[in-house]
Chains A and B, each alone.
Chain A
Amino acid sequence: MSKPIISVENLGKKYIIGKIIHGRGAPTFRDIFNQKLGNLFRRGEDRKKDDTILWALKGVSFDVKQGEVVGIIGRNGAGKSTLLKVLSRITEPTEGKVTIRGRVASLLEVGTGFSGELTGRENIFLNGSILGMKKAEIKKKFDEIVAFSEIERFIDTPVKRYSSGMYVRLAFAVAAHLDPEILVVDEVLAVGDAQFQKKCLGKMSDVSKEGRTVLFVSHNMATITRLCARSLCLHEGRVIMDDNAPTVVHKYLSTDCGTTAYRKWEDLQRAPGNDTVRLLEMQVNSGNAERSEIVDIRKSVEIKMKYYVKEQDAVVRPFLVFYNEEGVCLFSTTDFDSIWYNRPRPRGIYTSKLEIPGNFLSECNIIINAGLTTGETEVYKWFIEPGVLSFQVVDTLEGDSARKNNTTSYPGVVRPILKWESTQE
């Protein structure tokens, strides 16, 4: 067997988060001076407390084989981005060792180094060279990049006049044409409109089919399961899971609050949302059971969303998007029914419930992205929080579901009981 293309051995990265650095940007001489002066009057132990040591990564070891697509998941601050930064040599590790056997391109952000004053054409060359492409290579791929970005008409316009969508498309088009053996990607797909996101995902799965090695960080569990065969889960700087993607994703989703069927955001400031509205709680119920992680295929499922409307007279529309574990989007649904539809709401806490009938979902792991749209239909803003809830749909094979007594594979993303009629001519 050939050597792994990436070997990470006992990798650690330490940050010293002194309180001065925490407050505001870089410390000035005065800060240092004040601290040193303060230290004179303090005892040894106190002095140490000032410098909070944070191990962003600790004892991380894993190997990646050539052609593997590995998804890296974990909560904010788990060390995902630090890991990618070390792998792409932006920051240096404190301990341990990484061996990389191939050309790495890292994509931690789209459009790094874009200059607003320059035209699209000029930025393709600038950005391409920043990402490590040779000039000749960019020239060769130039037409392809422009075609991918769908902005042919504006290629000689300064990018500061671009819409944000155009900007992202151009930036991603350059990145998508990198030709490395190893591609390291941070959550860059969170930008751009849905259709373009899809195109990017398509491009990325092409990349992995070509036998390229990809390391991919995302908060979107559906994307992870769709793109990656294997997944690593980081927690507080350590690798806590390393297995096939669906297994890791499922376990990861269950670790929060002990269940995947309930989520609560304690800190309102950090809860998903914006200045108008924030999510508070999400829950899956089925039958008489609350917080059902496992749902009987025959029973209806209730999804409950609790949210806080911060802005007086805001018009709010909750919506949910359902994925299966392969990352296929099953359907989206928006609350158009309630008495609050298109009506300004007084400030306060609201609960919305969605009911999915029994005998509709297929046997699979369901992952839910939840979001809230605010504003009138013409001018609105929205946010979406990926992977807030997940549950498993199971068929107990008692013969009264859509598959009756059939125990073999029964494909399909949904499994409704439909009406058949057969007659003899």
Chain B
Amino acid sequence: MDKELVIKPPKGLAAVKLKEIWEYRELFYFLIWRDVKVRYKQTVLGAAWAIVRPVMSMVVFTFIFNKLAGFSAEGIPYQLFTFSGILAWNFFSEGLTGGSQSLVGSANLISKVYFPRLIIPAAAVLRGLVDFGIALAIFVGFMIYYQYSPTVNILLFPFVLIWGIAASLAFSLLFSSISVKYRDIAHALPYVAQILFWISPVGYSSAKIPAHLEFFYWLNPMTGVIESFRYTLLGKAYLPPHLLLMSIFLTVIIFIVGLITFRSMEKEFADVI
């Protein structure tokens, strides 16, 4: 009898037990592994989907924004410019939709087994890194094709990626826990994602936004994430320091709100799901 476990009614807001999550790291790994394995089962293209989607988006956005609307990217091939945005956006939106539905989708696990619930949305967001990695490789291929060399900014890329993960996880924590109680989220989510897409600088630069609207435009944390992706991968982007800081700050706030919401609703998950 090495350890003693006491089960008591929950009081207030419990701290996130990082140590416990660490103990369950294998389950975390297995959940990601399962989703990655199952993802492209029974498809003809299989993992090629991870290539087809961003490339198709790139072609379409280049056609619409560059050829039709006449936007330019100041010396960067437009294909690369928009692909860098697609990289960030696809990772974010898949994390957002997958993460937000993850708890409801794992109802049977939650009502039958104990483990730190935080693992579920976290695994749902992080599994996107596999598709992201494939798309990133394609992106590098395009960079070679267009003979576009990265700058020293690329060294900051890991931090920007962490920011992207944090942004996706922040919304997932918030939406997934609310979704356990209110299934409205599932209906609203596709529209939220769609609207967020149009107000994110995926196909165009945020420099196009009129100065008086800039503040509101940057309230979308993805604006900062996408422009930072561009800054690190392609060497230049529209990234005013004060707006960048605000964007990072906002992500932190949403993350904290998401975490608090998650933790406070967590104890009811098994009862209401």
Q: What 1/0 flags go to B63-107 for Cβ under 8 Å of A?
A: 000000000000000000000000000000000000000000000
Known contacts A26-B272, A93-B8, A115-B38; is-contact A3 B113 (Cβ 8 Å):
no
For residue A117, give the distance in angstroms from its CB to the closest CB of chain B. Answer: 4
Contact yes or no, A26 B4, CB < 8 A:
no
Known contacts A92-B7, A113-B113; is-contact A27 B1 (Cβ 8 Å):
no
For residue A53, give the distance in angstroms from its CB to the closest CB of chain B. Answer: 13
Contact yes or no, B109 A93, CB < 8 A:
no
Give chain A's interface residues, CB within 8 Å of chain B: 2-3, 5, 15, 21, 25-29, 32, 85-102, 104, 106, 108-109, 112-113, 115, 117-118, 122, 125-126, 129-132, 134-135
Contact yes or no, B6 A99, CB < 8 A:
yes
CA distance in complex: A121, B148 (Å): 46
Known contacts A93-B8, A125-B30, A129-B26; is-contact A26 B270 (Cβ 8 Å):
no
Contact yes or no, B112 A108, CB < 8 A:
yes
CA distance in complex: A125, B34 (Å): 10
Contact yes or no, B114 A106, CB < 8 A:
yes
CA distance in complex: A94, B41 (Å): 43
9 cross-chain pairs, A with B, having the tightest CB-CB distances, nearest first: A89-B114, A98-B7, A101-B1, A91-B270, A129-B30, A117-B41, A100-B5, A117-B38, A112-B112
CA distance in complex: A378, B42 (Å): 35
In the assembled complex, B149 has its CB within 8 A of some CB on chain A:
no
- Given B3, B5, B7, B37, which contacts A122 in the complex, CB threshold below 8 Å? B37
CA distance in complex: A130, B123 (Å): 14
Contact yes or no, A90 B1, CB < 8 A:
no
Chain B residues within 8 Å of chain A by Cβ, number: 36
The residues of B that contact A97 with a CB separation of less than 8 Å are 6-8
The residues of B that contact A130 with a CB separation of less than 8 Å are 27, 30, 109, 113, 115
Contact yes or no, A92 B10, CB < 8 A:
yes
The residues of A that contact B33 with a CB separation of less than 8 Å are 126
Interface centre among B4, B30, B109, B113 (most CB of A within 10 A): B113
For residue A23, give the distance in angstroms from its CB to the closest CB of chain B. Answer: 13
In the assembled complex, B108 has its CB within 8 A of some CB on chain A:
yes
Contact yes or no, B112 A93, CB < 8 A:
no
CA distance in complex: A108, B42 (Å): 31
Known contacts A102-B1, A130-B113; is-contact A92 B182 (Cβ 8 Å):
no
**30 A/B residue pairs, CB under 8 Å, sorted by A:** A3-B1, A26-B181, A26-B183, A27-B182, A28-B183, A89-B7, A90-B110, A90-B111, A90-B112, A90-B113, A93-B7, A94-B9, A97-B8, A98-B8, A99-B6, A100-B4, A100-B6, A100-B7, A101-B3, A106-B114, A108-B113, A113-B113, A115-B34, A117-B37, A117-B42, A118-B34, A118-B37, A130-B115, A132-B115, A135-B26
The residues of A that contact B272 with a CB separation of less than 8 Å are 21, 26
CA distance in complex: A199, B153 (Å): 64
Q: Output the nearest chain B residue to A127 by Cβ-Cβ distance.
A: B30
For residue B98, give the distance in angstroms from its CB to the closest CB of chain A. Answer: 15
CA distance in complex: A381, B52 (Å): 49
Interface centre among A90, A93, A101, A132 (most CB of B within 10 A): A90
For residue B42, give the distance in angstroms from its CB to the closest CB of chain A. Answer: 7
The residues of A that contact B9 with a CB separation of less than 8 Å are 92-96
The residues of B that contact A88 with a CB separation of less than 8 Å are 113-114
Contact yes or no, B7 A28, CB < 8 A:
no
For residue A187, give the distance in angstroms from its CB to the closest CB of chain B. Answer: 13
Give chain B's interface residues, CB within 8 Å of chain A: 1, 3-10, 26-27, 30, 33-34, 37-38, 41-42, 108-115, 180-184, 267, 270-273
The residues of B that contact A104 with a CB separation of less than 8 Å are 5
For residue B120, give the distance in angstroms from its CB to the closest CB of chain A. Answer: 11
- Given A86, A92, A108, A126, which contacts B30 in the complex, CB threshold below 8 Å? A126
CA distance in complex: A28, B182 (Å): 5
Q: Output the nearest chain B residue to A97 by Cβ-Cβ distance.
A: B8
CA distance in complex: A94, B267 (Å): 11
The residues of A that contact B37 with a CB separation of less than 8 Å are 117-118, 122
The residues of B that contact A29 with a CB separation of less than 8 Å are 182, 184
Q: Output the nearest chain A residue to B110 by Cβ-Cβ distance.
A: A90
The residues of B that contact A93 with a CB separation of less than 8 Å are 7-9
For residue A4, give the distance in angstroms from its CB to the closest CB of chain B. Answer: 10
- Given A91-B271, A118-B34, A118-B38: 13 more A-B contacts, CB < 8 Å: A5-B1, A25-B183, A26-B181, A27-B181, A27-B182, A90-B110, A92-B267, A93-B8, A97-B7, A101-B5, A112-B113, A126-B30, A130-B27
The residues of A that contact B6 with a CB separation of less than 8 Å are 97-100
The residues of A that contact B10 with a CB separation of less than 8 Å are 92
Q: Output the nearest chain A residue to B272 by Cβ-Cβ distance.
A: A26
Q: Output the nearest chain B residue to A110 by Cβ-Cβ distance.
A: B112
Contact yes or no, A28 B34, CB < 8 A:
no
Q: Output the nearest chain A residue to B104 by Cβ-Cβ distance.
A: A26
Q: Output the nearest chain A residue to B37 by Cβ-Cβ distance.
A: A118
CA distance in complex: A3, B6 (Å): 14
Q: Output the nearest chain B residue to A16 by Cβ-Cβ distance.
A: B271
CA distance in complex: A256, B111 (Å): 31
Contact yes or no, B26 A112, CB < 8 A:
no
CA distance in complex: A337, B38 (Å): 53
Q: Output the nearest chain B residue to A8 by Cβ-Cβ distance.
A: B7
Q: Output the nearest chain A residue to B271 by Cβ-Cβ distance.
A: A91
Q: Output the nearest chain A residue to B188 by Cβ-Cβ distance.
A: A29
Contact yes or no, B111 A101, CB < 8 A:
no
For residue A47, give the distance in angstroms from its CB to the closest CB of chain B. Answer: 20
Known contacts A5-B1, A93-B7, A129-B30; is-contact A113 B38 (Cβ 8 Å):
no
Contact yes or no, B4 A101, CB < 8 A:
yes
Known contacts A3-B1, A90-B113, A112-B108; is-contact A26 B182 (Cβ 8 Å):
yes
- Given B3, B7, B109, B180, which contacts A26 in the complex, CB threshold below 8 Å? B180
The residues of B that contact A95 with a CB separation of less than 8 Å are 9
For residue A164, give the distance in angstroms from its CB to the closest CB of chain B. Answer: 17
CA distance in complex: A175, B183 (Å): 33
